Amino acid sequence: MRIKVIIPNSGMDRRTLDDRERMLARALSPDTEICVDCIGSGPDSIESNTDEVLAGTEIVRECIRAEKEGFEAVIIYCFSDLALDAARENVSIPVVGPGEVTLAAADMISDRFTVVTTVSGNIVRTRRRLMKNRTARDKMASVRALDIPVTELREDPAATKNYLAKVCREAVEQDGADTIVLGCLGMADYGDQLEREFGVKVLDPAFLAAAFAELAVRTGLLHSKRAYPAYRRGKENGL
């Protein structure tokens, strides 16, 4: 099985992308190949509605390319699930949104969860988007920010973990959260310490999305073409 991961940030070097591949492979079966790439042009991080729009067309193009190259599923590597519906209109393989999968998991195992985002400016955007989802309306206690930009999350892992611990403590003590959702995939693999320290469940969308993509391929779980009618592509629309 071959799974494609599309990161909606441009300009990432191959070493960084290879590190993501090795990390995500831990959630997959040994016979599953995972390939991580970023979009060729667009924003260098997703921290606004404008960034989402600017990255959207490139994401759809990469999904189309992935299907043509024989990949059996695609993951849009962002908690915001950028261009997810549009991608599904353009391909006939599973397209996985980490945010969507993680909220489904939270609905099953959590009574009250907090979403941790990157910077304070993202709180309003994240809350507005998530509140369209029934699970968030019923169970989301808060959206809290680390106040670390996306591009800096992995520059100093120790600092990121310390900030996460602080926010997690506030979520547990002030919001009564029983579950923490890592609301940016740049926080991937930072959750184990929080579970041990605070006794909460940490949902890591990166690993959930990878495992779900493999499950979708193995079980034939594909979006309905009645729900996502195929988009008619042509030279005039650039796809």
Name the pLDDT band for 11 (thresholds 50, 70, 90): confident
pLDDT tens-digit series, residues 111-120: 999 999 998 9
| pLDDT reported for residue 5 | 98
Q: What is the pTM of this model?
A: 0.93
pLDDT at 78 over 70: yes
SS (H, E, C) 178-226: CEEEECCHHHCCCCHHHHHHHCCEEECHHHHHHHHHHHHHHHCCCCCCC
Mean pLDDT of 132-161: 89
